[in-house]
Chains A and B, each alone.
Chain A
Amino acid sequence: MSTLTPDAPQAERATRTYPSYSRNLLARLLLNREAAVILALVVVFVYAMGNVQYFDGPLTIYNLLKEYAPILLMALPMTLIIVTGEIDLSVASTLGASAAITGVLVVEHDLSVPTAALVAIAAGAALGALNGFFVAYVGLPSLAVTIGSLALYRGLAQGLIQDKRISGFPGDWRSWPTERIGDTQYPNIIIPIVVLAVVFGLLLHFTGFGRSIFEIGLSDEAAHFAGVNVARTKLILFTLSGAVAAFAGVYVALKANSVATDTGTGFELKVIAGVLLGGVSIFGGRGALHGVIAGVLLIAVLNSALQLDGQGSEVIQIIIGLLLVGSVIASNFLPRIRALLPRRAVADAATPKTPVNGDHTRKVAQ
């Protein structure tokens, strides 16, 4: 990637994406939203290891990753979409539709699992592209469009499956995603997750395309006048979101070895909760992929630890909710706390405050 991003733009990006580089390293690391989430993740994990019975057992990590793999997958493109200031509420329905397609093709039409998966992912990409078309080219608000497609795509899954119960996937592919890598605690599904996380991470943070995503999030119009093809960028992101959600749908179908019309219902809110917990601003223009991954994992670890501790799923629901509310309110106060801390005089002088930098800080502060 280094050949694509020479030094000069990199320095420019540094001042644009992160508001306060005029602080010492410690303050910068600690007063950063992503760092706070990662720290919380580590604290909860270490605490659970020491205090929750069976949490350090051999199945914990495996089960946790298996269960949260679809959320983690869908959170990756969702991060990019929310950074542009849009939202995709239809991901869980796309997941359900692709699971239904996979089920019908494999069980009723005897297609091989890889072929059916490819068809399902292509269909998911098409559903995502339809969202993207309405948002980017017709100019409709994504919240409204994807509430509609949430109902529409779930309806497609229902129409496809009707009242049948589809189960019994044949062959090796069925168990592949949930098998472990060697003797580790990691299921195979972690391989595509890591690959996609790296791809989306590079895309968001190390390419011109990624910079244009942040620019769109700060201002659609400004990005347009700066030469960013706003509509095409949004279309691409929604298409990717649909494709990844469809891949997650194939995984869920294979994992459960059955498909129902309510497969993945409510996942969209879990995905969005993870993304927002990971420090992505719902207004767009701010966020980082590593924060989101930590956010989803934090929910997953909490869930697993509380379950092993004998708590019901409602407790985790309450905690996710409180975390979400608390984190938005806290991040609202973070810039004010930051402003109270002393700045490093030398760095202040060394880093000229560009107007873009100042603007961005103000936008985040709101």
Chain B
Amino acid sequence: MSTSTLAPSRQSPAARAVHTLLHSRELAIVIVLALLILVATARRNSFVLSADGWRDTLLAPSILLLLAVGQMVVVVTRNVDLSVGSTLGITAYVTGKIFVANPDTSVIVVFLAGLAVGAAIGAVNGLLVALFKVPALVITLGTMYVLRGALTHEVGSKRMNAQDYPAHFERLGTQQVLTIPVLTIIALVVVAAVGYYLHTARGGRELYAIGSDPDAADLYGLPATRRVFGAFVLCGALAGLAGVFSAARYATAFSGTGSGIELQAVAAVVIGGVAIFGGSGTVWGAAIGAFLLVTINRALPILGISEFWQGAVVGALIIGSIVLDRVLSIRRTHQLVEARDHA
């Protein structure tokens, strides 16, 4: 029996893929999300079936999607980044600044600027965390304060308004290709790229190794400092991109833009089945978690639950999904122990 576990699986790749899918942690959230959308649509057709409803269903989660993906990469390394909300606020404002200086600036340039500013902030976080070996929770709590303070100092009670953003940029916020919003397409491309990297590339696999046992990764000679630094840079860059998205979608930026969204990003990651202590989880999970969080806020009033109880439902959902995660992991452990005992 013991050799059979080492031999190649006798199942066909397709059967194995189906098996993996059916037993994946993400399937549970997908089902919850699908049920939510189905029931809400049954109650009110326009929830998804109208042009606006369809657009909102896809567009509304795009900002949180980017934040959740970046956060997931950091969480996999057993760290956390609380400064993403401040980063989002800063880049949304910088976007406005660029357009005020030159309304004809190309959208591509603005996107690159957002990515660059975010990456620079992420680099500072990453340097502090990776080089000084200090807890990310404390460092990014600190940089969250510093960045928000700096933004407030710069912006004060002023704000960037719709007239500060040129029309071609604002259109981007609602533009669609084949009825799919452009911003959503970009966000999904990011999800796919990061997911592919984490799943297949050596660097991506090393992030999991570092998160599941930092000491072992160190002893094995993995470049932990560089990888953790890279994860923070990526997270910052995506938060920067999310800032540009936010500016495009709402055509506004003020000192409080993005404040509090960092906890939503962490919540999306947690709901998506990414272990908060690193080493496991998928980008798809985090992305679906973000989708679910945003969609539930839109769906609850339709389901007849007063909007005042939304927060409570979201909280119960977060706790419910980590309990589910725990139950599944215990069951998996039991199965592994049984398999070993029978071997």
Binding site for A on B (CB under 8 A): 80, 128, 132-135, 137-139, 141-153, 156, 255, 260, 263, 266-267, 270, 275-277, 306, 308-319, 322-323, 326
Can you give 20 contacting A-B residue pairs, CB < 8 Å?
A148-B315, A148-B318, A152-B311, A152-B318, A153-B315, A155-B309, A155-B310, A155-B311, A161-B308, A269-B145, A282-B137, A313-B152, A314-B150, A315-B149, A318-B149, A319-B149, A321-B146, A325-B128, A325-B139, A325-B143
Name the interface residues of A141-176: CB closer than 8 Å to any CB of B.
141, 143-145, 147-156, 158-159, 161-163
Known: A148-B319, A282-B138, A315-B149. A156 touches B308 (CB 8 A): no
Q: Is the CB of A144 within 8 A of B276?
A: yes
CB-CB under 8 A from A156, the residues of chain B are 311-312
Q: Is the CB of A159 within 8 A of B312?
A: yes
Name the interface residues of A115-140: CB closer than 8 Å to any CB of B.
134, 138-140
Q: Is the CB of B144 within 8 A of A321?
A: yes
Binding site for B on A (CB under 8 A): 87, 89, 134, 138-141, 143-145, 147-156, 158-159, 161-163, 265-266, 269, 272-273, 276, 282-283, 312-325, 328-329, 332, 366
Complex: chain B residue closest to A316, CB-CB: B149
A18 to B224, CA, bound (A): 31
The residue from A154, A163, A324 contacting B315, defined by CB atoms under 8 A apart:
A154
Known: A149-B315, A314-B150. 15 other contacts (CB 8 A): A134-B323, A147-B266, A148-B322, A150-B263, A151-B311, A152-B312, A155-B314, A158-B310, A269-B145, A313-B152, A318-B146, A320-B142, A321-B143, A325-B143, A328-B139
Q: 8 closest pairs, A vs B, by CB? A: A152-B315, A155-B311, A155-B312, A321-B145, A317-B149, A151-B315, A148-B318, A321-B146
A329 to B139, CA, bound (A): 9
Q: Tally inter-chain residue pairs, CB-CB below 8 A.
A: 156
Q: Is the CB of A147 within 8 A of B270?
A: yes
Q: Is the CB of A144 within 8 A of B138?
A: no
Q: For residue B37, give the distance in angstroms from its CB to the closest CB of chain A.
A: 21
Q: For residue A261, give the distance in angstroms from its CB to the closest CB of chain B.
A: 8
A148 to B319, CA, bound (A): 5
Q: For residue B133, give the distance in angstroms from its CB to the closest CB of chain A.
A: 7
Q: Is the CB of B306 within 8 A of A162?
A: yes
Q: Is the CB of B319 within 8 A of A317?
A: no
A134 to B308, CA, bound (A): 25
CB-CB under 8 A from A312, the residues of chain B are 152-153, 156
Known: A145-B319, A314-B152. A325 touches B306 (CB 8 A): no
A324 to B134, CA, bound (A): 11
* Main SS class of interface, A: helix
Q: Is the CB of B326 within 8 A of A140?
A: yes
CB-CB under 8 A from A329, the residues of chain B are 128, 132, 134
CB-CB under 8 A from B317, the residues of chain A are 148
Most chain B beta carbons < 10 A, residue from A147, A269, A328, A332: A147
A283 to B142, CA, bound (A): 17
CB-CB under 8 A from A283, the residues of chain B are 135
Q: For residue A283, give the distance in angstroms from its CB to the closest CB of chain B.
A: 7
Q: Is the CB of B267 within 8 A of A147?
A: yes
Q: Is the CB of B316 within 8 A of A152?
A: yes
CB-CB under 8 A from A154, the residues of chain B are 311, 315
A35 to B80, CA, bound (A): 30
Q: Is the CB of A272 within 8 A of B311?
A: no
Q: For residue B257, give the distance in angstroms from its CB to the closest CB of chain A.
A: 14
Q: For residue B262, give the distance in angstroms from its CB to the closest CB of chain A.
A: 10
The residue from B142, B146, B310, B323 contacting A140, defined by CB atoms under 8 A apart:
B323
Q: For residue B9, give the distance in angstroms from its CB to the closest CB of chain A.
A: 32
Q: For residue B142, give the distance in angstroms from its CB to the closest CB of chain A.
A: 4
Q: Is the CB of B306 within 8 A of A317?
A: no
A254 to B31, CA, bound (A): 45
Complex: chain A residue closest to B312, CB-CB: A155
CB-CB under 8 A from B142, the residues of chain A are 273, 320-325, 328
CB-CB under 8 A from A162, the residues of chain B are 306, 308
A276 to B318, CA, bound (A): 26
A321 to B150, CA, bound (A): 11
Complex: chain A residue closest to B266, CB-CB: A147
Q: Is the CB of B141 within 8 A of A151?
A: no
A138 to B319, CA, bound (A): 11
A30 to B316, CA, bound (A): 47
Complex: chain B residue closest to A272, CB-CB: B141
A313 to B145, CA, bound (A): 11
A134 to B319, CA, bound (A): 9
